[in-house]
Each structure stands twice: as structure tokens, then as C-alpha cells.
Amino acid sequence: MPTPHPYDALTPDLILDALEGAGIRGDGRLLALGSYENRVYQVWREDEGPPVVVKFYRPRRWSDEAIGEEHAFALELAEHEVPVVAPLVIDGRTLHEHAGFRFAVYPRRGGRSPELDRPDVLAWIGRFLGRLHVVGGAARFAERPTLDIASFGDEPRTFVLDGGFVPADILDAYTAISAQALDAVRRAFDRAGAAGGPRPLRLHGDCHAGNILWTDDGPHFVDLDDARMGPAVQDLWMLLSGDAGTQAGQLARVLEGYEQFRDFDRRELPLIEPLRTLRLIHYSGWIARRFDDPAFPAAFPWFGTQRYWQDRILELREQVALMDEPPLAV
């Protein structure tokens, strides 16, 4: 018999009871929203108030203190009129608990995906990120982690290799190329450190198009769940795609907006491909570590197949080559 997962107990009745305990009575209608790391639902209210979004945190991932820092950062950004979706303060608290689950309640904020092929959109997002980083640079996280090679590269690689997720006949190839890639990442970070940068600041941490919602009033960010300390460029590079020339043009537009509010240290540019490499290795480790959650085999049925790991080997070979290329010239 399969081992029960903690989320198995998160039934509709429990969700509604949790919200009612926080002073919000649902009318029974729930809509599961796209989230694998946590469980997130839109809930319609029994009164005339607008629907809310409730986020149930994955058990044992973050401490209460680390979640508190996420919420405090979101509220600080909102106080400075940076458009993020911050948790609702209910009875003086943003983090609530019910039946062993910790949760937060957010206002519902709609929007569409940003059109990242438009220069004006990139500049607008750049202005937003510049303002976000001004606030992020004003203090440090004490409980939330720093983006580093150990947690984003070494640890997920070891978990994948020790867990038997890579097919035996290509295990040696993945072991070798992932080690080679991380060596290249270390050299890049060492060079950046020797050059006097980067200076870590509080980041959104997972700044991809899926976490940006666009309205006629411009962008707003959702999901600060991965907020951490790190270099500013971490919040910029995921907006870029295409060949080097195309990415350089996109980054120029982002920085056009960004530097209206905050200077960007060009010494961080050589970290773009190393950070991309860390994300690729971390992503496989993230899936592997969550594979006991029934949502993950259903969402990633190809994980563990020969084709998946062959593609990862090719991907990392490309990254090793890219990390030997000159950084983007902006």
C-alpha cells in the first residue's frame, strides 16, 4: 500500500474549515490553481466579498520564521507601492495553522502572461524589478537561504545520483557532465568574487514569466515562495531567451527600465549562464525530491525515462560550452 502523503489529508472540507477559522467563510466553491510546490486554491466567499486565494505550504519545507520573512518582504514591497500580491493580515497575522497545515490568504489578482517579445514590456518589467531591488537591498534575510552552488547544484545532483533516478546505462555520462558543469559554475563564481561582486540582496528568486501577471496597469508579481538572498541578475536572466544577440537586446531593454531606479553591476553578467546551469540541475533534483507526492508522477510522467536524462546530458553539454563563451555585451 502506498505511503500516505501529507497533502492527502487536504480535503475540501479541511480547506473551508481552515479559512473559516481565519474569519473567511467560503460558499463551497473551490478552484485548484497551478502550483506543484504548495497547494493553492481560489475560494469563493459566502458573503459579498471577492474570492480569495489560499496557499497551503508544503509541510517541512520552510520554518515559520522563513515564511514570516517572505510575508514581511511582500508587505514591505507593497508599502513601497511595488506591485506584488501580499498576504492579507488577519487578526494581526499573515501565517495561520489548521489541522497541521500552515496557510496564508491572499487577495485574488488576475492578469495575463506578459508579452516578452515587446521592448516596452521588457522595459516596464525592468522598472518594476529596479524598484523591487531597491527595497530588497535595504535589508537582509536572516532565515531564508542564499542562492549558492551547494544548495542549487551539489545537493540536488547528489540526491538524484544517490536516489537511482538516472538509468544505469547513462549514469556515468550524467555523473561526468554534471560534475564538469558545476566545476565551470564554481570558476565563474570565483571570478565574479575576485572582481569585487556580486553583492547579495533580497530577491524574488523565481522571476519567470509564469510568476508575472500583466494587466492594463502593467505587471505585478505573484509567489515570493522562493525569495532568497542572491545576485540581482538572478531576477533578470529568466526573462531572456534566444541566441546571444537576441538576449543581449532583451537585456538592454530590461536594463533601460531597471536603471531608472537602481544601477546594475555589469560584473554580474558572466553569472547568467552559470545561474541557468544551476537552475537546470536544481530542477531535476526538485522533481526527484518531490516524487513521493502523487501530484508529481502525474505531472511529470517522463521523469526517470531514458529520453529525459539524455536530454539533460545534452543540455548540460551545451551549458558547459556556453559558460566558456564571452558574457552578454550590453
H, E, C per residue of the chain? CCCCCHHHHCCHHHHHHHHHHCCCCEEEEEEEECCCCCEEEEEEECCCCCCEEEEECCCCCCCHHHHHHHHHHHHHHHHCCCCECCCCCECCECCEEECCEEEEEEECCCCECCCCCCHHHHHHHHHHHHHHHHHHCCCCCCCCCECCHHHHHHHHHHHHHHCCCCCHHHHHHHHHHHHHHHHHHHHHHHHHHHCCCCCCEEECCCCCHHHEEEECCEEEECCCCCCEEECHHHHCHHHCCCCHHHHHHHHHHHHHHHCCCCCCCHHHHHHHHHHHHHHHHHHHHHHHHCCCCCHHHHHCCCCCCHHHHHHHHHHHHHHHHHHCCCCCCC
Residue 91 appears among annotated catalytic residues = no
Out of 27, 120, 183, 223, the active site residue is 223
Within a domain: residue 1?
no
One domain, residues 198 and 308:
yes
One domain, residues 74 and 159:
no
The amino acid occupying position 138 is A
| Residue 258 near residue 126, CB atoms below 8 Å | yes
User: pLDDT per residue over 220-266, tens digit each?
Assistant: 988 899 999 999 999 999 999 999 999 999 999 999 999 999 999 99
C-alpha span between 144 and 312 (Å, rounded): 29
Residues 6+ apart with CB under 8 A from 260: 127, 130
Within a domain: residue 113?
no
Within a domain: residue 330?
no
One domain, residues 212 and 315:
yes
- What is the domain extent for residue 69? 6-107
> Quick one: pLDDT at residue 222?
87
Residue 226 appears among annotated catalytic residues = no
One domain, residues 103 and 133:
no
One domain, residues 73 and 181:
no
The residue among 72, 107, 142 that closes a domain is 107
Report the number of distinct structural domains present in the chain: 2
> Quick one: pLDDT at residue 2?
60
> Quick one: pLDDT at residue 288?
97
| Residue 75 near residue 84, CB atoms below 8 Å | no
User: pLDDT per residue over 188-232, tens digit each?
Assistant: 999 988 767 688 999 999 999 989 999 988 899 888 999 999 999
Within a domain: residue 98?
yes
The residue among 107, 133, 156 that closes a domain is 107
One domain, residues 136 and 225:
yes
One domain, residues 277 and 307:
yes
One domain, residues 293 and 174:
yes
Within a domain: residue 112?
no
**Residue 295: which CATH number?**
1.10.510.10
The residue among 83, 107, 131 that closes a domain is 107
- Taking residue 78's Cβ as centre, other Cβ atoms within 10 Å add up to 15
Within a domain: residue 221?
yes
**Residue 100: which CATH number?**
3.30.200.70
One domain, residues 86 and 127:
no
One domain, residues 164 and 297:
yes
Where the chain has pLDDT below 70, the residues are 1-2, 195, 197
Within a domain: residue 114?
no
One domain, residues 176 and 101:
no
One domain, residues 149 and 32:
no
> Quick one: pLDDT at residue 216?
87
Out of 8, 190, 206, 226, the active site residue is 206
